[in-house]
Structure 1
Amino acid sequence: MSYEKKLLQMKQMMKKAPAKVEKPVIEKPSAPSYSKAWEQVGLTRIDNDFGTVFKYEKTYEKAYEHGHYALGAIDDALVQWEAAAFSHPYAATTDETLVFFDTETTGLKGAGTYIFLLGFLTLRPYDVLLTQYVLADPAHEAALLFESKLWQRDTTIVSYNGKSFDWPQLQTRWTLNQHVLPPLKIPRHIDLLHSSRRLWKNDLVRMKLKQVEEEKLGFVRHHDIPGHLAPIIYMDAIKSGEPSALMKVLQHNEWDLLSLVTLYVHSTSMLMEAASASATAYTNVGKWYADLNEHERSYDILSRVTTTYETFETIQTYYYLGLQQKKRGDVEGAIASFVRSGASDDIRIALKSHEEAAKLYEHAKKNTDEALHMTNAALQKLAQDRMLPLRARQAFYERLQKRRTRLLKKNQ
């Protein structure tokens, strides 16, 4: 065969259409036999390419009050963030689509754990829309996930422990259904559990949403189901087809979502210094801004705490104020603050305050006598303490002894 004919054969072979990639065959499960019973209690049945999902919707006016706040206060919070002269990871703007997000699951972890309820609270110009998607049964999981529209939403998700629990669970379930679902979008995520821990450390004993609601948001639940019963109620609902108890789970989820809105509002008020709160809470706010390198903001807040609250409430505040004064070059102010916080009942704060004062006396004031005095006072406090763990005690002791030895040599 001539080279010309071989070349012609090769061209003809290359023109052949490429093999088609077969799409996975989707076996759409049948709608549950209890569909009508579920529709009769207010759920809407939706059928899509992957099965059946049930939806519940409710609209709230912005004037609706949940605890201390009306839902419309979220608009004011967003305007405040837009006008703020400082940055914060929880800042959002009116241009963002803020969606408050919460799930209910059949367990805490594992491949056999399903999300049976996806709850969303979406801010709209004149109202707030609650949307809840209920898993018809585990065979309809792809239908639930697809109907959530999370594969097409450009949103900012707001949750409570969602970064550690709800969203990873969603990603796991999505991955297990990725052969039929579009790719899941990864949104910006604001987790209000993290802010609650920062704001109310040493102020709240527990950080469960229920405790935050009652102690900070002014909302008390009546006739709520315990969260740990939700999976049992759901499994009973799909076995029996009876949805009345399941609607109480939706109510539980609805309260969670409403509280996320007011918690975001209250947290914003705290970060803007517009809410009434304890010295401990506002000290935490000042510390948070310091960690974000917003040092001017931190200094202003901590200074106001020390002048607004009673002295016994602000002893620890002086330690963090001293760090900001030191950063600003205010040596005298920093030493005075560290001397005050050195009287703290918190042994770590007391010891670190003495250390910081000793550093400033030695290096900034060139006063080794006072530096040695502060170091000896810290060692005495350490010797009297019985609360510090052994490793922390050893670390403090070694640092203080090293400083004392150096100062004694300087004074010879």
Structure 2
Amino acid sequence: MPDLIVEGLRVEFNGQAAVKDVSFTVNDGEFFTLLGPSGCGKTTTLSSIAGLEKPSGGVIRVGSEVFVDAARHRFLTPEERNLGMVFQSYALWPHMTVEANLAMPLKIRKVARAEQDARIGDALDQVGLLPYRKRYPHELSGGQQQRVALARALVYSPKVLLLDEPLSNLDAKLRDRARAWLKDLQQSVGITTIYVTHDQLEALSLSDRLAVMGEGEMLQVGTPNEIYDHPSSLAVADFIGRCSFFRAQVLENENGTLVVDLLDGKGAIRVQSDQQFARGTSVTVGVRSELLKVTPPRTDVPAISVNAIPAELKKVSYVGARYEFELMAAGQLMFAEGDRKLTDDQVWLTVPAEGVFVFAEEIPKEKLANDPVAEVVS
């Protein structure tokens, strides 16, 4: 199947842009995820591809077949696009059996009865529900209902599968199993898939590539490793994983090594960065919580030699496989992890020289620990 291409997509509601000039390409057979917080435009983008929203600008096409061209007033209805969609609520007809639910889209497309039976059997076999074809939705578990919704979307061999947070109604353990099953199914069927979620773990574990969205815009598109290890902006680093941020000023910049002075804190740290910053430039240094180390205070070596800064341990949480720490350091709320419990109020927070992010951006005011409405960075 040709690639799905979205170019300059814009969607407005009451004169306000919900999606702003969004462009991306989904390759044939790819699992592509739209990731972002509520209200970022990801579901509106998916609905525009499905034909459930009418864009005010842009083009959506699969190969040479144009679904939307706003400038030329071209807009294909959902049934003309031959796309499969699974909604968050599954949207199964409660008064119909499983096989009747799957038969409905085939009847709409006027598929012959004999072929209907064959397709329904094949689709239910793919999702492991062939013995349940005579049951009603209320006789199935949440996970089984989700599989029925997927089978209904696959039964008429759509060009692209669109999934709008289909796992959000499942409990945690079932959601873990469903992720693995869904990825295996997508690969075995070989269908191009666009997935919408706000769950970072789902996006990272399922996707071949993903797009992080914010306020109706594309912030970054890349593989899970690229997005996690090399975020293009402070906003992406803040949304993906748990990241702590230091406000700093550049003191030195030579041979890929930055020495930065921590504002509202004591001392300086050395970090690796390919970016060039002039002396005196205000920057934000970001570091993943799993890379920060918390240790009892030391007096035998200066902090600058070990990239450590003094911190106050505010909270310790035991989460099974590890401990999570909340600390005050350099005038900010920080997060770290460790494999043993700490009881000292005053500790050292060791910052790695590698694996950190340096942005020529200021931390938003609401992220500052001394702000009365400060939010936890997550």
When the two structures are superposed, what TM-score results if normalisation uses the length of structure 2? 0.28
Q: Which structure has more RCO (C-alpha within 8 Å, separation ≥ 6)?
A: 2
Q: Which has the larger radius of gyration?
A: 1
Q: Which has the higher helix share?
A: 1
When the two structures are superposed, what TM-score results if normalisation uses the length of structure 1? 0.26
Q: Which has the higher strand share?
A: 2
